[in-house]
Chains A and B, each alone.
Chain A
Amino acid sequence: MSFQIPKNQYSGTISTVTLGDNKSGIPVGGDKALPFYNFEGEIPNKPIIAMEVYDSKPEKWPEYLEKYFKDVFDDPVKWAKKCVNDYGAEAICLQLKSINPDSGDMSPDKAAEIVKKVREAVDKPIIVYGDGPMEKISDVMKKVSEVNQDSNILIGWIEEDHYKTVAAACMGYNNNVISVNSMDVNIAKQLNILLTQLGLPPERIVMDPSTASIGYGIEYCYSSMERLKIAALLQDDKMTQMPLIVNLAPQVWKVKEAKESEEDYPEWGNLEQRGINWESISAMSTLISGTNIVVMRHPKAIELINKMINKLLG
């Protein structure tokens, strides 16, 4: 008798969330097997890489990273276009740093306007992450959703104690929402229950498990994401079937391994290569533990990860 490779039987499916409007819309999720296990079940949509765009000139980026974006730092629209046109970004992740009261306190109207301009300039889906206290993020995202009605942008973020305002705004204006949990399967489920009971369809929710970079606790993230996927696919647990997003770039590029100079750490090798490695290995880990969207920064790392995804999923 010939050897049969044992196969998992899947009872659940990851829900499919549509990102972007009519011209830019792409489906995310829909997996019927564990990450990259397309030999066991259908994975209709490959994981996507979203490239970061900031609402203002970022501080303290190392020179080797700055050089790719220096010319577009002054304008999020140009920046987004460059990501799409030069680096092949599949989605744009707008990091609204300036809304934080400590770094600009940008008004909700202004922030919403920036999102709108970027969205209209590129025909790729838009993801938005806020920064600062939850109250401010909620105020801004409510406006962002209102100004960008019916465009299926993915709005981040909401958490357990602050979910109603943004969730209602996404529900009312047909946008998607990122539900954040702190690497905890139970909390993730609880938040999803709260959201769906509020009336938000599961197809409008993407989960963010607050993933760290390698060297900073990624093992824990890995296992909590894996648990979510196993519960979703093998146990058909509806409240874990939302696709996952990992807002990785800000995590990777703040660690010393990606920043410290070669003079200080000669044994660590070439700084740029080190940064690329740090981001791409972190991204690989989150992808194989189940993320559907990964937010990245360095064009070379993105190139590498794209290769990996295409090789594994054909």
Chain B
Amino acid sequence: MNNRKKYQVKFLPSNKTRTFKHGFNLRQAILDSGLEIESSCGGVGTCGKCIVQIKEGSPETKKTKFISESEKKEGFVLSCLTKITDDLVVFIPEQKKTRAIIDKGKLAESSNVYADINRKEYEKVEIKPWIEKVNLKVEEPSLSYGTSDLYRFKKAVKDKFNIEDCIIPINVIRDLPKKLRGKGWEVAVTIDLNKSLIINIEAGKKNDELYGLALDIGTTTIVMYLVDLNDGKIIGSDSDYNPQIKFGEDIINRIVYSNKEGGLKKLKEVVVDCINNLIWRLLLNSHIDPDNIISMVVSGNSTMMHLFYEVSPKYIREEPYITVANRFSDCRATELGIKHIENAFVFSVQGVASYLGGDITAGILATGMSNSKDLALFIDLGTNGELVVGNSEWMMGCSCSAGPAFEGGGVKCGTRATDGAIQKVWVDQETYKAEVEAIGGGKPKGICGSGLIDVIGEMYMKGVIDRKGKFNKNIGNQYLRCIKDDCLYILVEGKDTADGKDIFISEVDIDNLMRAKAAIYAGIKTLLEEVGLSVYDLDKVYLAGGLGKKLNVGNAVVIGMLPDINIEKYSFLGNTSITGSYLSLLSSKKYEETVKIADAITYVELSVNMKFMDRYVAGLFFPYTDLQDFPTVEELIFSLDNKNRGKEEK
């Protein structure tokens, strides 16, 4: 076989045509052609999502359980298991849209939520960023006063700030003579007071406008705020899916991809591209002068931070799970490839450990728990559940892998929290009919994490499923469709859904959520026990994460995910990572606080903790194997009129 042979591959419906060498991986070819293809496993053939149809040509492909015989005959293959060994015409089915989770309206809403819940914390913030812009008058030189421009400039800085020897990068010096002489020796200087670093010099007096960006890079979502640094107002906000998703949906798969040749660079490029787009969109809508954006604070989990700074996250994944850095050096935005904001300086929020990143530090800052004597528990729900317990005197944190169920992954009809995602469910006690509420109010197209928690809580309470998450089959539930032992509980009939297909829950879906909730609760119990506390000692519980705002705490307690304590102790804060970076952007004091928080948190490794494993197994049960942990839930279940509960097959 001639391995040097090249083939033409045409992609439909985009009609893009490119040439690839013999044996090139088809999925990679699609990505390299700038097209999108879903693949949560990162292209190893285990998720079955990167399905394409070969219209012409016969490539070499491997057998897979995801493609049925009839589909095979129609030319369907998994692109990641297919090699280009022929000229091809490939049809790429429409991919689930990687569009913003939260549109602008909703983001504004979520910042209001923040303002409502944490108004006290918010109002206390004294707006005083690291980076300031000040007017400076530099002495004019003369024949009798013939010192250098730089000398006289530094002298002016010293007189103003009492900074002995400020640092001036060479690119600033290059512009210095022009800027000084431009408006009669008056300049506006952007200075990082913490490091005595001159960031920028402009001719003439400063205009009063001053802006900054707060950025949260999540594994799934990227959120950005444009902030007026004079009054702290959020002028605009925008968000987008993290485009790295196509290289793997979770952190581990991204790390794997970053280890491939060119992988790290690629991951960095796509995330920076996305950030540039967000900045561009915000600028378009706000009509501000980008030169007035002087700083950006970024938070994210450790892996996301590594990828953003193009530092290999390889060792995060290998025992003993070590980061390269928990905070990366402050630098100019341009050094990171960020466009549009040439004057801006970038800071990142310090993380704690490999699996407890700056997003959590920022989250703690947002809750204010590090300033309070109240004992609080912070829970960030996502693919990794991160937990921090403590108060102003001490803090301990851990991370437990919950799986993708909270984000709609691993669930047949799962979806992310976009428009059309079911976020609330009620199940009728008598008829077992489900009533749903979808985000946006339109026809539902899938079920997101909070909807999943809701539906499982409802199903358990109303007797549709038993404590093991298995369907009760003989209770006359007409919404249960069974083929032999495989049952589906229909939430919404096809005629009422967006794509005409039934939306249902299977026992496998329940299992996946069961595992996720078991990990969270086992983490909470284990972490508290490490410090000799019980859930009843907690004064407050803060919930964060993409589903935090919509989460029905009652049902989360019913399924045994959250401890059975006074429900009023719970607060929802939504995305706390962006709130934390927003606060850090406004105030250098707040930023310093994040460093203190990160230093104060002791990290507990759960992956080697036997008790965690034991509790995890105990958690594979509704609500929990030790029923006395959930007295209120037990009472509730008991008091419900469950004439059908468990009485079948007698």
Contact = CB atoms under 8 A, between A and B. Distances in A.
Interface of A: 160-161, 164-165, 168, 171-172, 184-187, 189-190, 193-194, 197-199, 237, 239
Contact of A168 (B621, B626, B627, B650): B650
Interface size band for B = 10 to 19
Contact of B625 (A161, A165, A190): A190
Given A184-B617, A194-B466, 19 more contacts: A161-B470, A164-B649, A168-B650, A185-B614, A186-B614, A186-B617, A187-B617, A189-B618, A189-B625, A189-B626, A190-B468, A190-B620, A193-B625, A193-B627, A194-B468, A197-B467, A197-B646, A198-B647, A239-B627
B646 A198 contact: yes
Contacts of A197: 467, 645-646
A14 to B, nearest CB: 19
Contacts, number: 45
Contacts of A198: 646-647
Contacts of A199: 646-647
A165 B614 contact: no
Contacts of A239: 625, 627
11 contacts: A164-B648, A164-B649, A168-B650, A186-B614, A186-B617, A193-B467, A193-B621, A194-B646, A197-B645, A199-B646, A239-B625
Interface in B572-623: 614, 617-618, 620-621
A190 B649 contact: no
A189 B621 CA distance: 10
Contacts of A161: 468, 470
Contacts of A187: 617
A124 to B, nearest CB: 30
Interface string B624-640: 01110000000000000
Contacts of B470: 161
Nearest to B473: A164
A194 B646 CA distance: 9
Given A160-B468, A161-B470, A190 B650 contact: no
Contacts of B647: 198-199
B467 A186 contact: no
Given A160-B468, A161-B470, A190 B621 contact: yes
A165 B649 CA distance: 6
Nearest to A197: B646
Given A193-B467, A193-B625, A186 B649 contact: no
Nearest to B614: A186
Contacts of A193: 467, 621, 625, 627
By secondary structure, the B interface counts as loop
A189 B648 CA distance: 21
A198 B650 CA distance: 9
A234 to B, nearest CB: 15
Complex A-B, nearest 7 residue pairs according to Cβ-Cβ distance, in ascending order = A186-B617, A186-B618, A164-B649, A190-B621, A189-B625, A186-B625, A168-B650
A26 to B, nearest CB: 29
A39 to B, nearest CB: 31
B649 A168 contact: yes
B213 to A, nearest CB: 48
Nearest to A135: B485
A139 to B, nearest CB: 13
Given A164-B648, A164-B649, A168-B649, A194 B618 contact: no
A167 B470 CA distance: 17
Contacts of B625: 186, 189-190, 193, 239
Nearest to B648: A164
Given A186-B625, A187-B617, A190-B625, A172 B466 contact: no
A187 B616 CA distance: 11
A198 B647 CA distance: 6
Nearest to A188: B625
Nearest to B619: A186
A84 to B, nearest CB: 35
A197 B468 CA distance: 13
B518 to A, nearest CB: 10
B650 A172 contact: yes
A43 to B, nearest CB: 27
B91 to A, nearest CB: 42
A197 B621 CA distance: 14
A202 to B, nearest CB: 14
A306 to B, nearest CB: 36
A185 B646 CA distance: 23
Name the residue in B614, B621, B648 with the highest tally of chain A Cβ atoms < 10 Å from its Cβ: B621
Nearest to B627: A193
A187 B648 CA distance: 22
Contacts of B620: 186, 190
A288 B468 CA distance: 32
Contacts of A160: 468
A190 to B, nearest CB: 5
Contacts of B649: 164-165, 168
A194 B622 CA distance: 11
Contacts of A164: 648-649
A185 B647 CA distance: 26
B550 to A, nearest CB: 30
Contact of B467 (A165, A168, A171, A190): A190
A198 B470 CA distance: 14
Contacts of B466: 194
Nearest to A171: B650
B343 to A, nearest CB: 58
Interface in B446-477: 466-468, 470
Contacts of A184: 617
Contacts of A165: 649
B115 to A, nearest CB: 44
A164 B648 CA distance: 8
Nearest to A164: B649
A51 to B, nearest CB: 33
